[in-house]
Structure formats: structure tokens, C-alpha cells
Amino acid sequence: MLSKAIGLDVLTTFADVDVANMSDRNTTTTTDDLEKVERTVYNEAGVSQMQFNTDGNIALEKSILNDEASLWNLVQQFETFLNIILQPFNTNPKKVSYRAQILPTTIYNYKELAKLYKEHTQLGYSKMLPQIAMGQAQSAILATAYFENDILDLVNVFIPPLMSSTMNAEVLNKNKNGDSSKEGAGRP
């Protein structure tokens, strides 16, 4: 800036001058200068570098959970918005009541959610949630159930093992024989 000024060699300030230390404070030696700068930026901001940029499998799992959590409020707002749109259609709640629900299913957690929903099904909750978590459409689930149960009569062909929490032999024989005789009670 002052290179063409005649008779001027050095320009200084009246105040004290300190050299800013921009070196990486990490104890491990790193040869990648870009990685040093990136780590320094995160350190100066007071944010963990592993929050959204991970190096390990556990940190990656936590990073995905952070991403899901940061978007969960937005998903709930969409669900609320859809329910507000559906509210005028709920004029006769004794017949049909419409409600939108967005499940917290992602590509990373669908297996765990399907397993959780299956366990809930064994306790009497919705039978459709495990299949929805696996990506099947509700209409396809209902059509498949109708086809398997009413058309192919697979309910009477494929009999699941008896469990005390799901059914008893008396109910099974009643469905099989069409009557309520207790002769075969206790036999699978």
C-alpha cells in the first residue's frame, strides 16, 4: 500500500502489538493443515467437532440421533398442520374421525421401531404399525389381510403355535370345527 512512498521503509503503530497464536492446541500431531484449521474453528466456537462430523461408529449413531432430534419439532408442526386441515371433516365424530399421525420412522431406525411395534402388537396394540414401519402402504396391508384371510382362508391353514398370551385351544377348536365343543380343548 505504501510501496511507492519515498523515504518510508517501516510503518509501525504506537500501541503494543501481539502476535495472534493460530496454531492447533491439540496434543496429537496432525499433518493435515485443513484438519487443524477445522478443529480450531470448532474449538473456538465451543462446539464439539463430533456433533455433526463423526469419526467413529458410536459418534455417528449419536450424530444421527442429534439430526433426528433437531427435526422432530418440524415434523410435529407438520402433523399439527395436517390435523388442523382435517378438522372440518370431523363433523360427525360418531361415524368417522380423521387424524393424521407421522411416525418417527427413518432409514436408520425402522428395524428397531418395527420390532418395538411388533412387541406392542403382542400386547394388543395396532397390527399395522410394524408393517408401516417396514415401508408398506396401509391400503396394501388391508388388501393383503383381506386376500389372505377371506379369499385364501390362510387363517385356518396356517395356525400359529398356541401361546397363553394370544389364544387358547378352545377358541382354536371353535374356529376350526365351527362349534363350541370342548372335546379338543387342550390339544393344539
Asked if 60 and 44 touch (Cβ cutoff 8 Å), the reply is: no
Percentage of the chain modeled with pLDDT above 90 = 10
For residue 133, count CB atoms less than 10 angstroms from its CB and return exposed for 0-12, middle for 13-18, buried for 19 or more.
buried
Q: What is the per-residue pLDDT across 28-69, written as a single tens digit (0 to 9) for each?
A: 555 677 888 888 888 887 777 766 666 666 777 777 787 888
Rounded CA gap, 126 and 117, in Å? 8
Confidence tier at 185 by pLDDT (50, 70, 90): very low
How does DSSP classify residue 109? Answer: T
Indicate the pTM of the whole model: 0.47
| Residue 138 DSSP SS3 | helix
Taking every pair of Cα atoms in the chain, the longest distance, rounded to a whole number of angstroms, is: 119
> Quick check: 1 pLDDT over 80?
no
